[in-house]
């Protein structure tokens, strides 16, 4: 099968809350979005020809090269020199235009939500833009006649879903799709692999925000003073608290 | 006229919170309950049923998150998720939500109508508007659900099997939760130390993403931004750092306590009380003390 995995480069989500400043977001260390990597890992385990696609600043090349080192087969970057914070519709329309240029995918995978803005919409909107069905929160894929058999997570357990292809899937994490660490040799090799690049002009897409806009952003402050206890005190306290519960 | 539609899947647990959110918005409120869910059919039916609505509110369950953005797209509206507050400003829906893994909060204004949002239902004062709903669920209404044109063939996706991974009570309703992280070191720690402790405390078990990804416990145990959002009276975090994405799942907990070897672990910033010590030492002692005290 021909599989496309959409990957986003984001500011490091593991920066501790105490070091997080809104003004510093632009200069934070950049990494690959975690659920995108779960999606790539899921695709790699399923097998097929895997293309990775990103819409982002030129630095997003790093995310794509890392994906090549993880053994994706091809990579494409749509360079965003216009809108530093595109809304999910703008992103989906750009990705859809690139999908039409690249053509012929049976499966299109995104992460369930990105680690920075966490909109949780790109996969769904991409499906709508392409006129395809969509299944969310998938954690594993199996082949079947005419399509795929999927397992997805729900609040209370799992569902098995049969889907015809082409289909868009948003991928969530489980113990089986923890992203692999690329081998050093493959990291070196990935730097020499070709990378297809598109400009927004090539795709002819308007990336202004027409879905939503961010009016205000702030850092909530909430700290509690922690009382450090001995085991005896802890036992006592736990009983007090749970007795009321 | 502000026609607000609430969409509920199966159970009602979110109904009160969504009704409260809808009342905040004002106007008439109407609820749609979906009993039988198949993604594509449900979407087609909802797109028909929700025509003319100014706002459409969902809870933050699997099905809601799956259909909400697509519904907004089909209705020419916009959508935002994981809201903790909603209001109309100049006729447009504004939603407050956490971003950057809970490290920041943003107010987002939807640019088109209808405004579609999935919400943390529990963040809203309960209401009763529009609930219980009238009418059969849209997925049963074949007339409304009938797809047009080339869609009319075999369905493109089909849920063929549903399995509940545990028969236990819902984590979301637990009064006491004992939760373990990567610091537990393996499935044995969960089974031999945390589980008996949870039993003594009448607690349910949960975990961090790191522990779930390691395969030590099922993914349904995950608490956080991309796991369950819980609201117990007590959340006891053992071997959990307290990353913002984890804290995003327990912001409604009344009290948080922790056992961690690292005094500087961010979790302690959110704790009422805690202990800095290896859980392997603390938990056995704790169990002993608890049994003594309970006698
Ligand atoms: C988009 C996104 C979504 C995410 N969603 C979630 C989510 O929903 N839920 C979630 O939990 N995480 C989520 N994460 C991951 C999150 O950022 C952290 O990586 C994760 O929560 C860390 O888990 P942990 O605290 O168990 O592990 P670690 O960070 O490895 O912490 C282990 C802790 O155990 C302590 N410890 C070690 N040994 C012992 C011992 N013997 N006794 C006592 N303490 C000990 C250590 O001091 C440390 O504090 C998400 C991340 C991203 C990017
Ligand atoms: N700019 C982008 N380029 C490529 N993929 C993206 C981009 N933004 C989002 N995605 C994909 O969509 C998923 C969900 O993102 P979001 O809807 O922003 O939460 C991510 O995990 C990625 O797989």
Whole-number Å distance between alpha carbons of B135 and B33: 8
CB contact under 8 A, B104 and A14: no
- A10, A12, A211: best to mutate for the B interface, most B CBs within 10 A: A211
Asked if residue B136 has pLDDT above 90, the reply is no
pLDDT band at B168 (very low <50, low <70, confident <90, very high): low
Distances (CA, A) of A123 to A105, A137, A138, A168, B71: 14, 11, 12, 7, 13
Share the mean pLDDT of chain B: 90
pLDDT band at B144 (very low <50, low <70, confident <90, very high): very low
Give φ, ψ of B189 to 5 degrees.
Answer: -60, -40
What DSSP element (H or E) covers B142? helix B142-145
pLDDT of the residue at B1: 57
pLDDT band at B14 (very low <50, low <70, confident <90, very high): confident
Name residues whose C-beta falls within 8 Å of residue B224's C-beta, 6 or more positions apart in sequence: B208, B209, B243, B245, B246, B247, B248, B249, B250
pLDDT band at B239 (very low <50, low <70, confident <90, very high): very high
Whole-number Å distance between alpha carbons of A136 and B65: 8
pLDDT tens-place string over residues A21-39: 999 999 999 999 999 999 9
Ligand located closest to B190 CA: 1
Greater confidence, B143 or B171?
B171
- How many other C-beta atoms can be found within 10 angstroms of the C-beta atom of residue A181? 9
What DSSP element (H or E) covers B65? helix B62-74
pLDDT band at B142 (very low <50, low <70, confident <90, very high): very low
What percent of chain B stands above pLDDT 70?
A: 89
Asked if residue B139 has pLDDT above 70, the reply is no
On whether the CB atoms of residues B24 and B134 are closer than 8 A, the answer is: no
Which atom of ligand 1 is nearest to B210's Cα?
Answer: 23
CB contact under 8 A, A235 and B286: yes
pLDDT band at B149 (very low <50, low <70, confident <90, very high): very low
pLDDT average, residue stretch A57-73: 98
Asked if residue A131 has pLDDT above 50, the reply is yes
**Measuring CA to CA, which residue among B244, B190, B242 is closest to residue B212?**
B190
* Beta-strand relationship, A212-218 and B104-110: antiparallel
pLDDT of the residue at B169: 76
* Beta-strand relationship, B55-59 and B28-34: unpaired
- A134, A142, A168, A223: best to mutate for the B interface, most B CBs within 10 A: A134
pLDDT of the residue at B101: 94
pLDDT of the residue at B152: 53
Distances (CA, A) of B65 to A27, B81, B85, B126: 31, 8, 17, 21
Interchain contact A139–B (C-beta under 8 A):
yes
pLDDT of the residue at A35: 98
The size of the A-B interface in CB pairs under 8 A is 263
pLDDT band at B13 (very low <50, low <70, confident <90, very high): confident
Long-range contacts of B252-261 (CB under 8 A, 24+ apart): B252/B122, B252/B123, B253/B177, B255/A241, B256/A224, B257/A234, B257/A237, B257/A238, B257/A241, B258/A226, B259/B283, B260/B183, B261/B183
pLDDT of the residue at B143: 43
Whole-number Å distance between alpha carbons of B99 and A25: 12
Angle of helix B39-49 relative to helix B62-74, nearest 10 degrees, comes to 50
pLDDT band at B2 (very low <50, low <70, confident <90, very high): low
pLDDT of the residue at B155: 73
Using CB atoms, which residue from A25, A139, A235 is nearest to B293? A235
Whole-number Å distance between alpha carbons of B100 and A11: 9
CB contact under 8 A, B234 and A156: no
- Dihedral of CA atoms B65, B67, B71, B72 in degrees, nearest 10, equals 20
pLDDT average, residue stretch A90-95: 98
pLDDT of the residue at A79: 98
Minimum mean pLDDT range among A149-153, B138-142, B163-167, B275-279 = B138-142
pLDDT tens-place string over residues A181-222: 999 999 999 999 999 999 999 999 999 999 999 999 999 887
Greater confidence, A34 or B164?
A34
Tell me the best of A3, A6, A207 to mutate to test the pocket of ligand 2, counting ligand atoms within 8 Å of each CB and taking the most.
Answer: A6
What percent of chain B stands above pLDDT 90?
A: 80
pLDDT tens-place string over residues A99-125: 999 999 999 999 999 999 999 999 999
Whether the predicted model's global pTM rises above the 0.90 cut: yes
Residue of chain B nearest A93, judged by CA positions? B73
pLDDT of the residue at B131: 67
pLDDT average, residue stretch A132-160: 96
């Amino acid at each position: 099968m021909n599989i496309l995995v959409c990957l986003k480069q984001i500011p490091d989500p593991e920066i501790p809350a105490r070091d997080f400043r809104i003004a510093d977001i632009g200069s934070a260390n950049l990494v690959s979005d975690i659920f995108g990597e779960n999606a790539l890992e899921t695709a790699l385990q399923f097998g097929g020809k895997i293309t990775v696609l990103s819409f982002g600043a030129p630095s997003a090349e790093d995310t794509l090269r890392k994906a090549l080192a993880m053994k994706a087969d091809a990579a494409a970057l749509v360079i965003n020199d216009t809108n530093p914070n595109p809304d999910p519709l703008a992103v989906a329309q750009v990705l859809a235009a690139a999908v039409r240029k690249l053509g012929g995918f049976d499966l299109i995978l995104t992460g369930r939500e990105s680690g920075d803005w966490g909109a949780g919409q790109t996969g769904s909107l991409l499906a709508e833009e392409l006129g395809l069905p969509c299944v969310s929160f998938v954690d594993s894929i199996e082949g079947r006649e005419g399509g795929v058999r999927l397992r997805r997570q729900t609040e209370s357990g799992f569902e098995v879903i049969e889907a015809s292809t082409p289909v868009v899937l948003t991928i969530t994490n489980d113990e089986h799709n923890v992203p692999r660490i690329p081998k050093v040799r493959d990291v070196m090799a990935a730097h020499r692999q070709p990378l297809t690049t598109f400009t927004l002009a090539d795709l002819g897409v308007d990336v202004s925000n027409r879905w939503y806009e961010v009016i205000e952003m702030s850092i909530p402050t909430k700290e509690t003073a922690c009382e450090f206890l001995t085991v005896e005190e802890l036992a006592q306290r736990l009983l007090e608290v749970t007795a009321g519960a | 006229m502000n026609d607000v539609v609430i969409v509920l899947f199966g159970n009602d647990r979110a109904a009160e919170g969504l009704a409260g959110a809808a009342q905040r918005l004002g106007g008439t409120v109407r609820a749609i309950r979906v009993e039988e869910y198949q993604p594509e059919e449900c979407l087609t039916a909802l797109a028909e049923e929700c025509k003319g609505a100014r706002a459409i509110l969902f809870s933050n369950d699997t099905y809601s998150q799956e259909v909400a953005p697509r519904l907004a797209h089909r209705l020419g509206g916009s959508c935002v998720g994981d809201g903790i507050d909603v209001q109309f400003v100049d006729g447009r829906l504004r939603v407050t939500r956490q971003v950057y893994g809970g490290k920041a909060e943003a107010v987002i204004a939807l640019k088109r109508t209808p405004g579609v949002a999935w919400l943390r239902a529990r963040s809203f004062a309960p209401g009763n508007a529009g609930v219980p709903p009238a009418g059969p669920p849209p997925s049963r209404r074949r007339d409304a659900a009938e797809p047009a044109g080339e869609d009319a063939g075999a369905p493109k996706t089909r849920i063929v099997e549903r399995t509940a991974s545990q028969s236990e009570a819902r984590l979301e309703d637990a009064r006491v939760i004992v939760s373990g992280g990567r610091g537990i070191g393996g499935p044995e720690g969960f089974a031999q130390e945390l589980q008996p402790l949870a039993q003594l405390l009448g607690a349910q078990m949960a975990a961090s993403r790191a522990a779930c990804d390691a395969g030590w416990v099922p993914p349904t145990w995950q608490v956080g931004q991309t796991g369950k959002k819980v609201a117990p009276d007590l959340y006891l975090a053992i071997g959990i750092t307290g990353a913002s994405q984890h804290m995003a799942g327990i912001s409604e907990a009344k009290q948080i306590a922790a056992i961690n070897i690292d005094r500087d672990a961010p979790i302690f910033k959110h704790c009422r009380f805690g202990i800095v010590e290896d859980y392997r030492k603390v938990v056995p002692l704790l169990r002993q003390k608890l049994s003594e005290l309970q006698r």
